């Protein structure tokens, strides 16, 4: 008998991809599925990305330096300086998307069997990467609702053990849309400093905030040694296929460590690094446009949700997701209903089940995530279909349980 590793067995499949094969089967039959489940922005990528790549005249396509192409690094430095953050080249390392940055950060701070604190629900890749690294995630409920109690220092302190190495925060947050306020960030840094913990701050959605601004932890000079930012251009420039992100930190030991990891995978793709340069140099122009667009979309989603009885959601302040609590025991059953039974004029809608966004067992079973990554007209249609789909699911369930 051949046995695969425990790690491979333990890894949870991405909740976003869980229904992929069912989806493609149904699409082959000609059913239109409005996709609210993947955070794959539908917006056009900035044309400067493609024109920069077209200008590449070199006849060779060599490995880029492990530390990144010089002009690409300089573009990141300029990008951060627009937020008042002054990085030197040694404070930043380009990665294959934010995803690789997450893996590098986790592996740089914790050994196998050690622990990292994370607020749940959270972007589900963290679970998979922690499993790959053999690191244990310790969940703390995220206070993302208006009515949530404020973060409690003693509650967090109680979760910290000898093996704890870091705290992860995602700001603005996927999947809840929460934007962390200054007071909360200061509390996290205070706890981190007191307990000698790193803070891994995922700032992928930095610009996508609807009122005010998100505060980057790299602006917090009093905690520079503790902070590791993982970043990505995927969402803010609508180029998820470019696979460009970075790790940024003022901690020299961390940057040396992630550099060593980076030399193992040799380099980030050359052409995509080149394509990203004009975007990073002129980030405001593009990001300002898309923030206005996502805000309009959020308002459409919320407007229709307000019209649905017996659900709960929380108003997102940033990113492009929200989570909804449904009057349903197990949302997988509802999603399968939407995909296989329910049709509205030959169409249906797809949302993400929340279970895998939690560490704690039996959490999120009645919750879904909606990603508002469709144009306004289609989004409105998709949300109406969602509303009708939910109603007919509840109706059908009621009639079958009465039989």
Q: Which residues bind ligand PLP (CB under 6 A)?
A: 39, 97-99, 123, 170, 174, 202, 204, 232, 234-235, 240, 245
Task: Give the single-character DSSP code of 209.
Answer: B
Task: Give the single-character DSSP code of 359.
Answer: S
| Structure tokens belonging to residue 170 | 């995602």
Judged by beta carbon, residue 200 or residue 339, the one nearer ligand PLP is 200
Q: Cβ 39 to ligand PLP, closest distance in Å?
A: 6
Q: H or E segment at 202?
A: strand 198-202
Judged by beta carbon, residue 128 or residue 245, the one nearer ligand PLP is 245
**Cα distance between residue 6 and residue 2, in whole Å:** 13
Q: Cβ 236 to ligand PLP, closest distance in Å?
A: 10
Judged by beta carbon, residue 165 or residue 235, the one nearer ligand PLP is 235
In sequence order, which residues have a C-beta less than 8 Å from that of residue 176 and are 6 or more positions away? 121, 142, 144, 314, 316, 321, 322, 323
Q: Cβ 220 to ligand PLP, closest distance in Å?
A: 20
Q: Cβ 122 to ligand PLP, closest distance in Å?
A: 8
**Cα distance between residue 308 and residue 71, in whole Å:** 51
Phi, psi of 343 (to 5 degrees): -140, 140
* Residue at token pair 């905690």: 223
Judged by beta carbon, residue 242 or residue 374, the one nearer ligand PLP is 242
Backbone CA torsion sign across 308, 313, 317, 318 = negative
**Cα distance between residue 318 and residue 149, in whole Å:** 20
| CB 198, CB 109: distance < 8 Å | yes
Judged by beta carbon, residue 279 or residue 390, the one nearer ligand PLP is 279
Judged by beta carbon, residue 160 or residue 262, the one nearer ligand PLP is 262
Q: Cβ 202 to ligand PLP, closest distance in Å?
A: 5
In the complex, residue closest to ligand PLP by CB: 97
Helix (H, G, I), strand (E, B), or coil: what is residue 367?
strand
Judged by beta carbon, residue 98 or residue 275, the one nearer ligand PLP is 98
| CB 325, CB 312: distance < 8 Å | yes
Q: Cβ 94 to ligand PLP, closest distance in Å?
A: 11
Peptide bond into 134 cis (omega under 30): no
Judged by beta carbon, residue 322 or residue 328, the one nearer ligand PLP is 322
Judged by beta carbon, residue 348 or residue 356, the one nearer ligand PLP is 356
Q: How many CB atoms lie within 10 A of CB 201?
A: 29
Q: Cβ 239 to ligand PLP, closest distance in Å?
A: 9
**256, 233, 188: which is closest to 96 by C-alpha?**
233
| Structure tokens belonging to residue 58 | 């070199």
- 79 alpha-carbon distance from chain centroid: 20
Peptide bond into 356 cis (omega under 30): no
Q: Cβ 98 to ligand PLP, closest distance in Å?
A: 3
CA atoms within 13 Å, Cβ hemisphere of 40: 12
Q: Cβ 398 to ligand PLP, closest distance in Å?
A: 36
């Amino acid at each position: 008998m051949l046995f695969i590793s425990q790690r491979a067995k333990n890894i949870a499949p991405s909740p976003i991809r869980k229904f992929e094969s069912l989806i493609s089967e149904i699409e082959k039959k000609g059913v239109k599925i409005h996709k609210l489940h993947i955070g794959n922005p539908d917006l056009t990528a900035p044309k400067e990305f493609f024109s920069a790549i077209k200008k590449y005249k070199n006849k060779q396509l060599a490995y880029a330096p492990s530390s990144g192409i010089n002009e690409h690094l300089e573009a990141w430095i300029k990008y951060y300086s627009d937020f008042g953050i002054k990085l030197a080249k040694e404070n930043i390392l380009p990665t294959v998307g934010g995803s690789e940055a997450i893996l590098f950060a986790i592996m740089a701070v914790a050994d196998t069997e050690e622990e990292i604190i994370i607020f749940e629900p959270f972007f589900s890749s963290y679970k998979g990467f922690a499993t790959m690294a053999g690191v244990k995630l310790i969940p703390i409920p995220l206070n993302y609702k208006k009515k949530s109690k404020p973060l409690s220092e003693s509650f967090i302190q109680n979760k910290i053990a000898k093996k704890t190495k870091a705290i992860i925060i995602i700001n603005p947050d996927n999947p809840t849309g929460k934007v962390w306020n200054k007071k909360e960030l200061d509390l996290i840094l205070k706890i981190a400093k007191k307990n000698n913990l790193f803070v891994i701050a995922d700032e992928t959605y930095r610009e996508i905030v609807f009122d005010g601004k998100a505060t980057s932890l790299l602006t917090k000079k009093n905690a520079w040694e503790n902070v590791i930012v993982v970043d990505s251009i995927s969402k803010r420039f609508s180029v998820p296929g470019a696979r460009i992100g970075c790790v940024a930190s003022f901690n020299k030991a961390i940057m040396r460590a992630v550099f060593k990891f980076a030399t193992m995978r040799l380099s980030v793709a050359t052409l995509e690094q080149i394509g990203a340069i004009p975007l990073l140099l002129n980030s405001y122009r593009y990001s300002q446009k898309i923030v206005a667009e996502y805000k309009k979309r959020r308002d459409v989603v919320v407007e229709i949700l307000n019209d649905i009885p017996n659900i709960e959601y929380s108003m997102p302040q940033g990113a492009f997701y929200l989570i909804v609590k449904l009057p349903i025991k197990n949302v997988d059953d509802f999603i399968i209903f939407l995909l296989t039974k329910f049709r509205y004029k030959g169409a249906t809608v797809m949302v993400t089940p929340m279970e895998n966004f939690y560490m704690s067992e039996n959490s999120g079973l009645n919750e879904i995530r909606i990603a508002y990554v469709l144009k306004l007209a289609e989004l409105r249609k998709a949300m109406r279909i969602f509303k009708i789909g939910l109603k007919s699911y509840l109706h059908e369930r009621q009639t079958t349980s009465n039989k």
